[in-house]
């Protein structure tokens, strides 16, 4: 990979992600209303929880990356955090593989922890949505639709004929874009993370990150002078997050917010204006603040192509 193109491509991805986050989460009447009505005594706790969320996800990334790289844990952590803003762009999660590549980790291998990180998020969130849907009829229809889609996808991979067709299609696409060798290297690298300690540890850390987000949402709502039952809170966070991720939109922008407001108002006594304010503040703390944190790490604490030399010295 051309190092110069990678360097400036990462610059653009980080800046682009910040612009998207700022435009989405710092504009609109609902943002101003939320900022006016919030109890700011909760702010230090909420920001600390947001930082903890990113760091625990970075810890998971370290766990998933170590089979492929003899790098200090601090380099892998910074690579993860530095790519935070880029995830708000289409395909932006790939920036983390690019950052690892600057530290001399081949893209084919650096893509494995990126893919498994997203996969673990989905597994834990969908499992949580299944549990939350037991309490509320409103959540059962969408979760059953999601389960149906998962069953279909699993079936496609289980049935030998369709599995071979999908494999052939993937090989054809890889050859079409000139990345066939990297695609095969990626497939060969996958088994290295498929161990009980890595998968089990990664899933446990993912559960912890979900708990952090639930605590953040709880205190955001409390800071607006409202409360929600725990089961309703879980449903209002997990199911919209799953729907947002499945939408294919970066960060689930739009889909997640609208779904959260809908579930909040339908499962509690919270009014629509307060729900809109709560969701706006929650996304500012968990998305915009995390993107800003990542941008600071990237532009101040990431050394680009010098990371590999610095790590080996």
Identify the CA nearest to 18 among candidates 255, 294, 252.
Answer: 294
Count of domains forming the chain: 1
User: What's the residue count for the chain?
Assistant: 313
- Give the model's pLDDT for residue 29: 66
Report residue 231 CA to chain centroid gap.
Answer: 23
Domain that holds residue 184: 3-312
pLDDT at 30 over 70: no
* Cα angle value 56/84/205 (rounded, 5°): 20
Residue 8 in contact with residue 16, Cβ under 8 Å? no
- Give the model's pLDDT for residue 8: 55
Which tokens in the block code for residue 123?
């597994």
pLDDT at 308 over 70: no
Tens of pLDDT, residue by residue over 105-140, are 898 899 999 999 999 998 898 888 777 766 666 656
Give the separation between CA 169 and CA 184, rounded to whole angstroms: 13
Tens of pLDDT, residue by residue over 197-252, are 999 999 999 999 999 999 999 999 999 999 998 888 988 898 888 888 776 666 66
DSSP state of 268: S
Report residue 246 CA to chain centroid gap.
Answer: 12
Which tokens in the block code for residue 23?
């435009």
Tens of pLDDT, residue by residue over 178-194, are 778 888 888 888 889 98
- Give the model's pLDDT for residue 221: 94
Give the separation between CA 271 and CA 226, rounded to whole angstroms: 10
**Which helix (H) or strand (E) is 139 found in, with range?**
none
């Amino acid at each position: 990979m051309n190092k110069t193109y990678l360097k400036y491509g990462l610059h653009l991805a980080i800046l682009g992600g910040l612009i998207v986050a700022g435009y989405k989460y710092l504009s609109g009447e609902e943002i101003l209303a939320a900022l006016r009505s919030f109890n700011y005594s909760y702010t230090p706790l909420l920001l600390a929880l947001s930082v903890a969320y990113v760091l625990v996800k970075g810890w998971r990334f370290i766990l998933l990356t170590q089979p492929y790289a003899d790098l200090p844990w601090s380099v892998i952590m910074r690579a993860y955090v530095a790519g935070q803003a880029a995830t708000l762009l289409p395909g932006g999660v790939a920036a983390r593989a690019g950052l690892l590549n600057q530290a001399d980790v081949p893209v084919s291998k650096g893509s494995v922890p990126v893919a498994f990180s997203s996969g673990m998020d989905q597994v834990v969130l969908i499992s949580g949505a299944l549990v939350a849907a037991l309490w509320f009829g409103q959540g059962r229809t969408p979760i059953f639709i999601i389960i149906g889609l998962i069953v279909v996808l699993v079936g496609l991979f289980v049935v030998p004929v369709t599995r071979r067709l999908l494999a052939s299609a993937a090989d054809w696409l890889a050859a079409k874009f000139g990345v066939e060798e990297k695609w095969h290297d990626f497939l060969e690298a996958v088994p290295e993370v498929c161990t009980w300690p890595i998968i089990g540890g990664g899933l446990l850390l993912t559960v912890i990150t979900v708990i952090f987000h639930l605590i953040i949402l709880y205190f955001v709502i409390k800071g607006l002078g409202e409360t929600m039952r725990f089961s309703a809170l879980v449903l209002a966070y997990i199911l919209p997050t799953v729907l947002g991720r499945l939408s294919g939109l970066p960060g689930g922008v739009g889909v997640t917010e609208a779904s959260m407001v809908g579930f909040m108002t339908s499962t509690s006594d919270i009014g629509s204006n307060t729900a809109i304010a709560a969701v706006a503040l929650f996304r500012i703390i968990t998305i915009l603040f995390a993107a800003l944190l990542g941008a600071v790490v990237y532009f101040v604490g990431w050394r680009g192509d010098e990371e590999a030399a610095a790590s080996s010295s």
